[in-house]
Amino acid sequence: MMLLFKPTITRGRKSKPRPYQSFSESLLMDSIEAAESLTRKWISPDQSSSSSCSLSSIFSSDNRAEGRRFVEVINSLQYAIQGVVLVNPESPKLTRAHNLVTIAMKQLEKEFYRVLKSNRRNLDHESVSVRSSPSFNPRKKVSIYSQVPKSEEADVMTDLKMIADCMISSGYENECVKIYKKIRRSIMVEALSNLGFENLSFGKIQKLDWDSMEKNIKKWLEATKVVITNLFDGERILCDHVFSPSVSVAESCFTEITLDNALTLFVFPVSVARCKKTVEKIFLTLDVYQTISQLLPQIEEIFSYNSTSPVRLQAADSLNNLGVAINSMVAEFEASITKEASKSPIPGGGVHQLTRYVMNFIVFLADYNECLAGVLTESTLPLPEDYFGNNDEDNKEGGETGTSSSSAPVTTRFAWLILVLLCKIDTKSRLYNDMALSYLFLANNLDYVISKVRTSNLRVVLGDEWVANHEGKVTQYLEKYEKIAWGEVIMSLSDHDEEMLEEHVAKERLTRFNEAFEETFQKQSEWVVPDSKLRDDLKDSLTKKLTIVATSFYGKYQVENWEDIVRFSPEDLGNYLSDLFLGTGRSCIIVPSLKPSDSGRSLKSESGR
């Protein structure tokens, strides 16, 4: 090792020649003189006292160079001591050297404490984590600071490492580690307290009402992201850097500072999972699961030491318990749909409140589809073969027998929940005495379901084929509604015979059309189609069908006193139908046209009369 400091030579007089000594003893004497020179400068003259005090801080920002020189001199002294011990263990110079090391270690203890204590801001976990993360590799358990820009924080971390290296190599590992653990543990406790997370026992959690529980879960969610990505990550980086020569020391410090707090952090989700399970808790439970799941790679890297394996196991156990709870709540949600027992039909065949509730719930649930992919347990659900719109040929080409067996668990489960809802709605459609209104009710509710799927993440989960398939079912419901509700009206003017009807028969048919149209209109004035597009499409379809048969009939027959019989001209049928499906009720009456060419609007409101 290169001699860092040469012995002092007094100019102007001859130095007293030293008696012969070995190279090792000569090196030791030079190191002793260099160390004594620095200790006289920075430590009180009472060097024999175990309580010697520093005249000034060696590692302050102004004196940092001197502090590092002090450590280098003590390292050289230690090296020289080892050399003399090998050749002359009885050398009297060793006592003098050891005394100097003891004084220096006492000073470095104080400096280590001061640097840790006074640089809390420079050594806060977030600063350490953010600054060091590009160069830190937790898997290798080392920190590489060659690319870290020069800064006060980096200087402080370098100072700590130099002091720790010197103390540990000098046999003062226990003193160094004790100081580090004490200071850093207090900083950790303070940081956790500032985050506002309260450590509650399972018994206390069980007694919380839902509002209080929700607040505690939200606090946990906010705290956990900071604790893992900043506090624990920053502490791991700092420990690995300061004690880089000794993995065992770094592990010991990190474990003692973080283990209890980390275990407490991940015991809370287990308590949440074991609480009474209700459907409304599923979203916050999913938030907790998703947070741990997303942080799990970092958790495994940060707590990669053998002594911190309980943290990894606790995090995994939390995920497992939360997963069981989520599956239970999904099953409870499905059961709640099946058990819904309202017997009152929705006025006008509108959208049932069950449909709104279930679909809004499932839409929110679909936002967690990636999280649910790792949570929902696979199960065989009896979905129809063509439920997603796949035809038999597609299934044969793919070697599949049905969608339920080939789709992902998340897709299958969402499709099943919607199918359970639609089956329930089908049951409720039987509460109506009018079959036409039953089909209108089915069309309204299925259209609402489709609109929720189309405008949310459910479209990604279920796919466009599912949407197209169920849009086709809405069309089928409306076709059945039109046939039952308006079939008699349309058939009253339908003339498929090639022969002309006699005049009195044609008049009877026209009269029957008038009566049937007005009766059907009045009856359906209370019915509703909430979706504006579906409502317009349905009215256009009815107008087209009625206009075609009316125009054909009026064009074929020229009856005497025709204007006395015609109440609804083809040109005005669209106006008559324009106020349908708004649920305005029987407050609307029909004022018939006086002649076929009258294009004036004939639908008036009694309330305005």
pLDDT digits (tens, 9 = 90+) for 289-324: 999 999 999 999 999 999 999 999 999 999 999 999
Average pLDDT score over residue span 572-577 = 81
Number of residues that this document lists for the chain: 609
Query: What are the pLDDT digits (tens) for 449-459?
Result: 999 999 999 99
In whole numbers, what is the pLDDT of the chain averaged over residues? 81
- 560: pLDDT confidence band, cut at 50, 70 and 90? low
- Pairing state between β 603-605 and 588-590: antiparallel
pLDDT at 52: 43
Report the range of poorest mean pLDDT among 277-286, 514-523, 593-602: 593-602
Q: Which stretch of DSSP H or E encloses residue 350?
A: none
Q: Return the structure tokens found at 195.
A: 């985050």
Average pLDDT score over residue span 263-278? 88
Q: For position 289, what pLDDT does the model report?
A: 96
Residue 53 has pLDDT above 50, yes or no: no
How confident is residue 229, by pLDDT bands cut at 50, 70 and 90? very high
Measured between its terminal Cα atoms, the distance across the chain in Å is 112
User: What pLDDT score does 127 carry?
Assistant: 60
For range 386-400, the mean pLDDT: 46
Q: Which of 37-51, 164-178, 281-295, 505-519 has the lowest mean pLDDT?
A: 37-51
More confident residue, 369 or 67: 369
Given a cut of 90, is residue 232 above it in pLDDT? yes
Q: Which residues, including other chains, have CB under 8 Å from residue 339's CB and lie 6 or more apart?
A: none
Q: Do residues 141 and 134 make contact, with C-beta atoms less than 8 angstroms apart?
A: no
What phi and psi, each to the nearest 5 degrees, are found at residue 400?
A: -110, 150
CA dist 319 and 288 (Å) reads 9
Non-local CB neighbours of 503 within 8 Å, separated by 6+ positions: 557, 559, 560
Residues 6+ apart with CB under 8 A from 151: 131
Could you report the per-residue pLDDT of 238-259, keeping only the tens digit for each?
999 999 999 999 999 999 999 9
For residue 100, the surrounding DSSP H or E stretch is helix 93-118
* Predicted confidence band of residue 49 (pLDDT cuts 50, 70, 90): very low
Q: What's the pLDDT score for residue 549?
A: 86
pLDDT of residue 213: 85
Residue 5 is given by DSSP the state S
Among 382, 384, 606, 580, residue whose Cα is nearest residue 481: 580
Q: Residue 246 has what pLDDT?
A: 93
Q: For the segment 273-285, what is each residue's pLDDT rounded down to a tens digit? A: 888 888 989 999 9
Quick one: pLDDT band at residue 4, thresholds 50, 70, 90?
very low
Among 430-434, 470-474, 519-523, 605-609, the minimum mean pLDDT is found in 605-609
Burial 278-298 (b: 16+ CB within 10 A, else e): eeebbebbbbbbbbbbebbee
Question: What was the pLDDT predicted at 406?
Answer: 46
C-beta separation of 547 from 570 below 8 A: yes
- pLDDT bucket at 603, cuts 50 / 70 / 90: very low
β-pair partners for 603 = 590
82-86, 115-119, 601-605, range with greatest mean pLDDT: 115-119
Report pLDDT for 426.
97
User: Taking a C-beta distance cutoff of 8 angstroms, is the pair 163, 105 a contact?
Assistant: no
Highest mean pLDDT range out of 13-17, 77-81, 399-403, 441-445? Answer: 441-445
Q: Are 213 and 205 in contact (CB under 8 A)?
A: yes
Q: Which residues fall within 8 angstroms of residue 530, CB to CB, at 6 or more apart? A: 350, 351, 444, 448
State whether residue 478 is helix, strand or coil. helix
User: Which pLDDT band, with edges at 50, 70 and 90, does 561 fall under?
Assistant: low
The CA distance from 272 to 113, in Å, is 40
* Chain centroid to CA 357: 23
User: Which of 151, 143, 141, 238 is CA-nearest to residue 188?
Assistant: 238
| Of the candidate ranges 121-135, 357-371, 541-555, the one whose mean pLDDT is the lowest | 121-135
Contact between 123 and 238 (Cβ < 8 Å): yes
Torsion of CA 472, 475, 481, 483, to 10 degrees: -100
Give the pLDDT band of residue 596 (cuts 50, 70, 90): very low
pLDDT band at 8 (very low <50, low <70, confident <90, very high): very low
Mean pLDDT across 173-202: 89
463: left (phi over 0), alpha (psi -120 to 50) or beta: left
pLDDT of residue 573: 81
- Using CB atoms within 10 A of its CB, is residue 9 exposed (0-12), middle (13-18) or buried (19+)? exposed
**58, HSE (Cβ side, Cα atoms, 13 Å):** 29
Q: How far is residue 84's CA from residue 28's CA, in Å, rounded to a whole number?
A: 7
- Is residue 7 within 8 Å of residue 29, measured between CB atoms? yes
Percent of the chain at pLDDT above 70?
A: 79
pLDDT range class, residue 349, cuts 50, 70, 90: very high
SS (H, E, C) 199-258: CCCHHHHHHCCHHHHHHHHHHHHHHHHHHHHHHHHHHHHHHHHHCCCCHHHHHHHHHHHH
Distance CA 81, CA 297 (A): 47
As a whole number, mean pLDDT of residues 530-547 equals 93
CA pair distance 543, 456, nearest whole angstrom: 33
Report the distance separating Cα 336 and Cα 277, nearest Å.
Answer: 13
